[in-house]
Amino acid sequence: MAASTSLTLSHAALSRSAVPRHGSSTTTSPAVAAVQQSTLSIPTFSGLKSTVTSSSRAPTRRQVSATRRRVIANAAVETLEKTDTALVEKSINTIRFLAIDAVEKANSGHPGLPMGCAPMGHILYDEIMRYNPKNPYWFNRDRFVLSAGHGCMLQYALLHLAGYDAVKEEDLKQFRQWGSKTPGHPENFETPGVEVTTGPLGQGIANAVGLALAEKHLAARYNKPDAEIVDHYTYCILGDGCQMEGISNEACSLAGHWGLGKLIAFYDDNHISIDGDTEIAFTENVDKRFEALGWHIIWVKNGNTGYDEIRDAIKEAKTVTDKPTLIKVTTTIGFGSPNKANSYSVHGAALGAKEVDATRQNLGWPYEPFHVPDEVKKHWSRHTPDGAALEAEWNAKFAAYESKYPEDAAELKSIVTGVFPAGWEKALPTYTPETPGDATRNLSQTMLNALAPVLPGLIGGSADLASSNMTLMKMFGDFQKATPEERNVRFGVREHGMGAICNGIALHSPGFVPYCATFFVFTDYMRGAMRISALSEAGVIYVMTHDSIGLGEDGPTHQPIEHLASFRAMPNILMFRPADGNETAGAYKVAVESRKRPSILALSRQKLPNLPGTSIEGTAKGGYTITDNSTGNKPDVILVATGSELEIAVKASEELKKEGKTVRVVSFVSWELFDEQSDEYKESVLPSGVTARVSIEAGTTFGWGKIVGSKGKAIGIDKWGSSAPAGKIYKEYGITVEAVVAAAKQVS
């Protein structure tokens, strides 16, 4: 979907950004100036799928009446005014039955959670949260994450009532059907209004930590005493399943450490998981654990009908600004179902016609399936104008901010819109063969430090390996509770949480470029989050060092073998293995540009030379010839390699040339990018007529069969690594110039 009208800054705000700048005595950096220049035209950012139509576009400030503004101002300070309880109840039952009916029609899905969580869902979306249903991407919206993603009908029902265009009645009727906007779990890339992709348990709460981190960081960096331009909450509902997952403990430990006061998580404490009562596997004291993690805890004992309890809990949570809050809400799964409530049978299957009828009886619900009573419809209808007004208010605020703090505004705008300062990529250094060699992990640090000043949204860190992964941006301090404006994030030894937090940062605003790091082998610890990066189009950069047996003495537990192949097999993720300085720069260039596709950089621990023929441009094509002494696209043999083995291929080619062979060396730095090139280009690099091919890579040969063909030879490692100095392992494993020369002679 084209999205030139879909920016989170409205047109008005963007065009106002050109007013003369006052009150700033600091010099304007080139990066900031570039963003400022771009603000007169509407930048197109394809990362946003908007539901904004011309008719529903946010009204300008003038269009919002004075009365309306007062109402909104009240909403903004969240006076938890009690609406008529009968109406609230009706609204809550509407949510329940939309979920029941959709699951029943699909004969597939999870009615239990929506039925139990409808009260907190109603209160959040109707009374608490600030959002604009007609622009789901409005920057300063409150974020909501349904970590217990299987209960997605709760969220779809709420989006529907709130007026989001993505979820019309017909969409609810298409729940879990081909091509619908209401898939089986919440997917941000399908349904505007859904912030992140959940379903795999624990991911959502960790995403929420990332969203709250992003807010705290931006607020600290850009808010002024006279202008709170970044100011939203992050809400999350998580269940027993999420609580059991290690990833949630990792992320929540960090949330406590960072003091993310605007993160408010609702723990749907219903004592039921798929296998039955949580007593069979989950008897820990969750409250106490969260206290230990540094959270504020509130217990809502009656989550089923204690609406005021829920409201009071939220009110209390907002008064605690130095800690995240866990509101434990004790609910009955499948509330309202006379025969299935409070049992695992209501968790993940349709109630069945008979029990649906019984539930209608029990809750006094006389309506047809999918019916929204008029008074409920009317009650919720205010969110469309109110939301538009909220956005317009904020746009006006931003305009004022911009005129007073133009440099900050320009940076923030880059983060908000995803439009990078023009020419940012010129910051990347290039290399010649004369440049002294270096480990690609060190070159990666050079790139990060070159990019940090020109990319306002670059933020990240390592899972306790900053000094090994080389991920520190030297001009910044640590993002910590007391210094949230800083950009080096210390994740501790929490790989899975780290990945999911970065997904949250990436999906908070399109101009964020989050990166995170560990040893390449430990992608095994965070693969769940990396897959969600790829699926949910979160352009996280994974800086993965120590990428082969070349790490040496740490041994097989630390030496990746199968990892390159395992990611090459994954959709929508770029797997890079750069060989030197130019290729590391090229990988970063593509990775930064790829805001809807995550990238993995596999980087060496050991020093590598800068090779002749490598380039940023070549790297962007995924595979390219770096040396060739043949003519007519017909070398005697083609040597294909990646990363640290490209040097070996080059040396082998020199040996073979001495013996009179014509040899091409191809760097195959990213298979995915090469696959996307034209057939002509591919033929120019790997001519089908040349079947004499040898590949070399210090990892599994799995997958190389397709490249080298049945007449070629793949040199690699199809067994575990070993603990010894790197040179020794390379030699013992036959990852050598001699092996390539011998194989080349054999196949050509």
Tell me which residue of 645, 627, 643, 619 sits closest to 715, measured CA to CA. Answer: 645
Q: Does 199 bind its own copies (CB under 8 A)?
A: yes
Q: Which of residues 496-525 bind its own copies (CB under 8 A)?
A: 496-497, 521-522, 524-525
3-state secondary structure of 574: strand
Q: Which of residues 67-126 bind its own copies (CB under 8 A)?
A: 106, 108-109
Q: How far is CA 57 from the centre of its chain?
A: 27
Q: Specify the stretch interacting with its own copies by CB under 8 A; choose among 12-20, 49-57, 240-248, 620-628.
A: 240-248
Confirm whether residue 217 is marked as ligand binding: no
Q: Which of residues 529-548 bind its own copies (CB under 8 A)?
A: 531-532, 535
Confirm whether residue 150 is marked as ligand binding: yes
Give Cβ neighbours of residue 24 (< 8 Å, ≥ 6 apart). 404, 405, 406, 407
Confirm whether residue 496 is marked as ligand binding: no
Give Cβ neighbours of residue 551 (< 8 Å, ≥ 6 apart). 519, 558, 559, 605, 606, 726
3-state secondary structure of 188: coil
> Do 213 and 207 form a contact (C-beta atoms < 8 A)?
no
Q: What is the 3-state secondary structure (H, E, C) of 493-538?
A: CCHHHHHHHHHHHHHHCCCCEEEEEEEHHHHHHCHHHHHHHHHCCC
Confirm whether residue 505 is marked as ligand binding: no
> Do 134 and 21 form a contact (C-beta atoms < 8 A)?
no
Q: Does 728 bind its own copies (CB under 8 A)?
A: yes
Give Cβ neighbours of residue 412 (< 8 Å, ≥ 6 apart). 218, 221, 222, 229, 230, 456
Residue 40 CB neighbours (<10 A): 10
Confirm whether residue 47 is marked as ligand binding: no
Beta strands (DSSP E) in 301-416 are 325-330
**Nearer CB in complex with its own copies: 298/521:** 521
**Nearer CB in complex with its own copies: 103/412:** 103
Q: How far is CA 618 from the centre of its chain?
A: 28
Q: Which of residues 553-572 bind its own copies (CB under 8 A)?
A: 553-558, 561-562, 565-566, 568-572
Q: Specify the stretch interacting with its own copies by CB under 8 A; choose among 5-13, 272-280, 359-367, 641-649.
A: 272-280
Confirm whether residue 270 is marked as ligand binding: yes
Binding-residue total with its own copies (CB under 8 A): 111
Q: Does 201 bind its own copies (CB under 8 A)?
A: yes
Question: Is 127 assigned a catalytic role?
Answer: no
Record the tokens describing residue 734, joined without a space: 């036959």
Cα 675 from Cα 701, distance rounded (Å): 18
Catalytic member of 195, 391, 495, 672: 495
Q: Does 593 bind its own copies (CB under 8 A)?
A: no
What is the smallest separation between the CB atom of 439 and its own copies, expressed in angstroms?
16
Q: Which of 57, 282, 449, 681 binds its own copies (CB under 8 A)?
A: 282
What is the smallest separation between the CB atom of 654 and its own copies, expressed in angstroms?
28
Confirm whether residue 201 is marked as ligand binding: yes
Q: Does 594 bind its own copies (CB under 8 A)?
A: no
**Nearer CB in complex with its own copies: 423/727:** 727
DSSP state of 184: S
Record the tokens describing residue 336, joined without a space: 């309202």
Q: Does 27 bind its own copies (CB under 8 A)?
A: no
Per-residue binding letters, 152-191, with its own copies (x by CB under 8 A):
------------------------xxxxx--xxx-x----
Burial 627-646 (b: 16+ CB within 10 A, else e): bbebeeeebbbbbbbbbbbb
CA dihedral 155, 161, 165, 170 (to 10 degrees): 90
Q: Does 485 bind its own copies (CB under 8 A)?
A: no
Q: Does 253 bind its own copies (CB under 8 A)?
A: yes
**Nearer CB in complex with its own copies: 227/251:** 251
Q: Does 294 bind its own copies (CB under 8 A)?
A: yes
What is the smallest separation between the CB atom of 530 and its own copies, expressed in angstroms?
8
Q: Which of residues 332-391 bind its own copies (CB under 8 A)?
A: 344
Confirm whether residue 185 is marked as ligand binding: no
What is the smallest separation between the CB atom of 325 and its own copies, expressed in angstroms?
16
CA distances from 199 to 83, 286, 295, 420 (A): 33, 21, 24, 32
**Nearer CB in complex with its own copies: 412/507:** 507
Catalytic amino acids?
Answer: 495
- Specify binding-site residues for substrate: 110, 347, 441, 468, 546, 554, 558, 605
Please state the residue numbers annotated as binding site for thiamine diphosphate. Answer: 150, 199-201, 241, 270, 347, 522
